[in-house]
């Protein structure tokens, strides 16, 4: 849970490096929750973490492509 809180704190930063580090912390957090959910037979939590990881990756790729467009314009 602490990794998740740190990740969200970093993702909210205006500094690009902190946001990127927060993204990776978020993926680590998803993985840790997934492992715990699997161990506890909490399969809804496992599915949730997979979905959140997918959305994080999607959001990061969209954010990266938007920043590239701004540089070109």
| Half-sphere exposure (Cβ direction) of 69: Cα atoms closer than 13 Å | 6
Per-residue pLDDT of the chain (73 residues; tens, 9 = 90+): 999 999 999 989 899 899 999 999 999 999 999 999 999 999 999 999 999 999 989 988 887 766 655 555 5
pLDDT of residue 62: 81
Model pLDDT, residue 59 = 84
């Amino acid at each position: 849970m602490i990794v998740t809180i740190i990740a969200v704190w970093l993702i909210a930063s205006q500094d690009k490096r902190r946001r990127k580090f927060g993204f990776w912390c978020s993926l680590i957090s998803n993985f840790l929750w997934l492992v715990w959910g699997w161990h506890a037979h909490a399969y809804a939590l496992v599915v949730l973490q997979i979905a959140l990881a997918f959305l994080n990756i999607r959001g990061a790729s969209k954010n990266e492509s938007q920043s590239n467009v701004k540089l070109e314009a």
